[in-house]
Structure 1
Amino acid sequence: MARRALLSEAWWQQATIIPDNEREIAKHYTLDRSDLELIMRQNKAANRLGLACVLATLRYPGRPLADGEVLPAGVLRFLARQIGAPWESLQYYPLRDFWRDGKQMISA
């Protein structure tokens, strides 16, 4: 049975775009107290910022980042300022499974 598309591809792309202007970033990506409590439980700055990015994009635009998709620099810096982490620490987030207590657990 053929499926009928309810939304056009163009509409879907527009509805799920991540904003890059300051007003929209502040509107959609301001973390509340419960978010901050959860995020600050993470040990490392990279993990805190990575979790903040995941929470933020799941809430708006309501989807995870696609493979190879990068958050706009303004969003990343806005989230980093809220949690007191350097925005550059996100580059270490993918390595979180490979290192524990300074020892490599899985070869990359």
Structure 2
Amino acid sequence: MPRKTLFTLSERETLTAFPQEHHDLVRHYLFNDADLALINQRRGKHNRLGFAIQLCYLRYPGKPIPPDEEPPAHLLSFVSEQLGVPVTHWKRYAIRKTTRREHLTELMNWLGMASFTLSHFRLSVQYDPHQQFWTPS
């Protein structure tokens, strides 16, 4: 029996779509001093731009950038303007696959994120809605 889904495919795509309006780009992707300090630790303009784009993806919509995905042009432009790095440097980012993985790991640690694991799943199925907290087994 197929599982019931909460949202249709178009609703899910809408929830995870990148903002189009400038004020939404500012709200989600404007870097503060701490962000810029972390980004500027990368060597090479292409690594700074790629690292910053990964940071954007993790913040909103809250997922890593897939290796075969090209970021939206308006997001690349917005980020590249903040960093003073030409958009063309994106093509040189993560030629070494380990670069992207290392950057992702560092950003997830910096943001306090973790991959969803079996132990997270086990905790989630033990959730008691009548209690104010999660009860581990």
- Is this contact kept in 2: 1:18–1:61, CA < 8 A? yes
- Are the structure 2 counterparts of residues 74 and 33 from structure 1 closer, same or farther at C-alpha, using a change threshold of 3 Å? same
Give unpaired runs (5+ residues) of structure 1: 99-108
After TM superposition, list the pairs within 5 Å mapping 1:28-67 onto structure 2.
28-67=28-67
CA distance in 1, matches of 2:92, 2:52: 14
Quickly say closer, same or farther: Cα 1:11–1:36, change in 2 above 3 A.
same
Q: Deviation at 1:84?
A: 1.7
| Percent of residue pairs bearing the same amino acid type | 34
Higher mean C-alpha displacement, 7-16 vs 52-61: 7-16
Which of these two proteins has the greater Rg computed from alpha carbons?
2
Mapped partners of 1:16, 1:72: distance in 2: 13
If asked which structure has higher relative contact order (CA below 8 Å, sep 6+), I would say 1
State the AA in 2 paired with 1:94.
A
- What are structure 2's unaligned runs of at least 5 residues? 99-137
Q: TM-score, normalised by structure 1?
A: 0.77
Aligned length: 98
CA contact (8 A) 2:47 2:94 kept: no
Secondary structure of the 1:95 match is coil
State the partner residue of 2:84: 84
* Alignment-derived partner of residue 16 in structure 1: 16
